[in-house]
Amino acid sequence: MTDLFSPLNLGEIALSNRIVMSSLTRNRAGAGNVPTELAAEYYRQRASAGLILTEASPISPEGHGYPRTPGIHTPEQIAGWKKVTDAVHAAGGKIAIQLWHVGRISHPDLQPGGSLPVAPSALKPHGQAITYTGMKDYVTPRALEISEMPVLVSKYARAAENAMAAGFDGVEIHAGNGYLLDQFLRSSTNKRTDAYGGSRENRARLLLEVLEAVCSKIGHGKVGVRLSPVTPFNDISDDNPQDTFEYVVGELNRFDLAFLDLLQGTGGAAKEDWIPFDYERLRSIYRGKLIRNNDYDFETATRAVETGGADAIAFGRLLLANPDLVERFRRGASLNAPDYEKLYVGEEKGYTDYPFLAS
């Protein structure tokens, strides 16, 4: 019987169990947005998960939208990540990097040369960016020119090559949560009238070009993608998410990817408040391996895997607070609670100091 502790191959990535660490922003990168030794320790502690998906990592200087997020576009960042992947591999784990471009969810203060953030359309998000000097209102971004698309696509491909140089087992293309690729996918943020906007086919074009380019550089068996069809996080929505995402997922089948990481629900909202969406339809359309994400516990995760509703389950908060979550699940042990005050601050506190079970 398949359960959470059963091994699983996601393309070329061999997992020893089906408990995946979800991508979690932690804002503890060092100077130059380089991952630190402390990050290597944090991820090493969690290496018993079948697969770690790293915190979102910008592919280029323009991809940044928050302080102290580790990039994957400079030699120093590649060297910093190499220490992370070495630590995870030495502990017997697998690790893929989440490739990120925030698009309009940024601020000139966080952009090279103080320029405007880029987006599919010049539409200002509601809300504020977190800058190095406090919260500042988002600005109206600059709409990308169609002539810039090949350069953007090549930056994803380059970042994927950098990820291989840094020793990662794979990459996850972040196309969710209201960031750049999601801004193209969803109708509220994409008002383009060229080949990259309008119909669902056009809105999906950039993501599909990115996947094509990344797969051709590093091989489809190392590439996953994250989608979050209905999260309103970062001021985003779609007129018909079911239609948009059924098309996107159908197109993903062409690539024979390592996995699809499907973030269900609407951010931190209570389950009763989730925008309705038929995830089972996506499951039936998608022919590859599916990781489901958000609000699972041991029982619901076990049921999802046992019934074939998912191939693996990603845990964020639980793995953040329980580095040995796999062992705790095995033993039915109690769980540490996350310290929400220290999600984005605190250096080692609330990061590498969560207790393991007494052995």
**Which is closer to ligand PHB, CB of 25 or CB of 237?**
25
**Cβ at position 176, least distance to ligand PHB in Å:** 6
**Cβ at position 5, least distance to ligand PHB in Å:** 27
CB count in 10 Å sphere of residue 302:
17
Q: Which of 156, 179, 286, 351 is catalytic?
A: 179
CA–CA separation, 46 vs 314, rounded Å? Answer: 13
Q: Which of 177, 181, 187, 200 is nearest to 239 (CA)?
A: 187
Interface with ligand PHB (CB under 6 A), residue from 25, 131, 154, 188: 25
β-pair type (118-119, 95-100): unpaired
**Which is closer to ligand PHB, CB of 66 or CB of 184?**
66
**Which is closer to ligand PHB, CB of 66 or CB of 168?**
66
Interface with ligand PHB (CB under 6 A), residue from 15, 19, 56, 159: 56
Interface with ligand PHB (CB under 6 A), residue from 48, 177, 264, 293: 177
**Which is closer to ligand PHB, CB of 123 or CB of 343?**
343
β-pair type (259-263, 223-227): parallel
Give yes or no: 196 in active site: no
Quote the longest CA-to-CA distance of the chain: 60
**Cβ at position 192, least distance to ligand PHB in Å:** 23
CA–CA separation, 17 vs 324, rounded Å? Answer: 13
β-pair type (142-143, 259-263): unpaired
Which of left, alpha, beta for 134 (phi over 0: left; psi -120 to 50: alpha)?
left
Interface with ligand PHB (CB under 6 A), residue from 42, 43, 66, 298: 66
The residues that touch ligand PHB, with contacts defined as CB under 6 A, are 25, 56, 66, 177
Catalytic residues, by residue number, are 179
